[in-house]
Amino acid sequence: MAKTNKKFYVTTSIPYVNADPHIGFALEAIQADVLARYHRLRGEDVFFLTGTDEHGVKVVRAAEAVGKTPKEFVDEISGKFKALKKTLILSWDDFIRTSDQKRHWPGAQELWLKLYDAGKLYKKPYRGLYCVGHEAFITEKDLIDGKCRDHQKEPEVIEEENWFFKLSDYSNDIKSKIESGELKIVPEGRKNEILSLINEGLEDVSFSRPIKDLSWGIPVPNDPEHTMYVWCDALSNYISALGYGSTQNVDISKFQKYWPADVHMIGKDILRFHAAIWPGMLLAAGLPLPKTIFVHGFITVGGEKMSKTIGNVINPVEIVNKYGVDALRYYLLWDITPTGDGDFTYEKFEERYNSGLANGIGNLVARIAKLGETISPIVYSESDIIDNNRNTKDYVCEQYDKFIGDIKFNEALGEAFVLVYSTDNYINETKPWTLKGNDLKKVIINASFLIQALSELIEPFLPETAEKIRKQIKFVG
């Protein structure tokens, strides 16, 4: 497809590197990859960013537990996340690391200074509940029976002097932009959730830690005794990767070209960070807000939350090594509702794989390839395509584009699979094994026409399968 002037910037959240990659991040990365591939196929100028969040107390403790320095530890774990590009055939354009002093730190420090110069940072003594799991201060409202609701551990009581960001100044502005749709939160339930939080009143947030308590992080540019807290450190990756804060003109032009982001892909546990704190920071710095924040749910395993203690953490690399990458992509994009929680079991995974890929697409393509052996490549003109098949393709493509636009991956993929069922029905009705000559050729052309359309629609979702179809059925129109 011809290039357009449209740009599309999509990001994943940056996973914390205290543990190896699991299937939850694979879901988010693959979802973002679908959007990136879809928009590239439409000739748009796409920039797809991911990376790793590498600072904080949790990293220091995890490194100590295995006898490594923080840098040695993050280099190893970040490398495993970066290796997912090949394993999951992800098409990201850049991978940003928050420990990168050359690429990331200048942007984070520039953003800090923008907030400081705007009078939105102040220093005060603070006593609060610190959750190491979140790398964040939490409140009594976040506790159940005295423990963090997400990590099931009691928070630490911290007393120290911190820098604070005046998030409370932006409650009304953030609320207005969300309600107007200028900052779109998907799905609607998450939009209502963040609006409810804002209506309670946003409180100022701790923005630094004393360097004596947290040395593994980015130094505060105007206060050498403090280290940046996660907000300015991690959230700024979305702009630092584009060259924000860089002195290199070529880097700055990338920021000017791609920001604001079209879609931030995040998990539901970091909604407040991205839909309240991050917009507040951007407003204070005079920068545009992202257009859409897409919030996915969690993956459970057999109905239980993944846990190293239980031993039920699913490693996506192991699945790919056994079943192939498209088997994993297919399951995550079809069986997991994009905005809801989903459950993984190997029984359901294998059932979906066999019914959809192996016995669905696989058998159908093999049948058509066998029929078309005598006339490969299959050359056709528009007059060869019967109206019903052309109308089916046009309708499916229209619905598919609509679902992609609404970020409903399972419904878009389901629409593409209508072409599998339509082709199967067409072959069963026409019985090509009973035909010869031009009658047989017409059936082969029409079946191949539908399968070619299928390969185009599934390419963002199942790129390896799409390529296999094109190799098996050589179709020239």
pLDDT digits (tens, 9 = 90+) for 346-373: 999 999 998 888 888 999 999 998 887 7
Q: Identify the segments of the chain with pLDDT beneath 70.
A: 1-2, 134-135, 249-251, 308-309, 477
The reported pLDDT for the residue numbered 25 is 96
38 residue type, one letter: Y
Tokens 């089916």 -> residue: 392
The reported pLDDT for the residue numbered 142 is 78
From residue 469, alpha-carbon distances to 368, 452, 475 in Å are 10, 8, 10
The reported pLDDT for the residue numbered 364 is 92
Whole-model pTM: value is: 0.93
The reported pLDDT for the residue numbered 250 is 60
From residue 347, alpha-carbon distances to 183, 339, 343, 352, 439 in Å are 40, 23, 11, 9, 43
Q: Which domains does the chain have, with CATH numbers?
A: 346-476 (1.10.730.10)
Average per-residue pLDDT in the chain?
93
pLDDT of 161-199, one tens digit each? 999 999 999 999 999 999 999 999 999 999 999 999 999
The reported pLDDT for the residue numbered 373 is 77
425 burial class (0-12, 13-18, 19+ CB within 10 angstroms)? exposed
The reported pLDDT for the residue numbered 283 is 99
The reported pLDDT for the residue numbered 477 is 64
Q: Which of 12, 209, 17 is nearest to 100 (CA)?
A: 17
DSSP 343-405: EE-HHHHHHHIIIIIIIIIIHHHHHHHHHGGGG-SEE--GGGS-HHHHHHHHHHHHHHHHHHH
Determine the Cα–Cα distance for residues 457 and 472; give it in Å rounded to an integer. Answer: 17
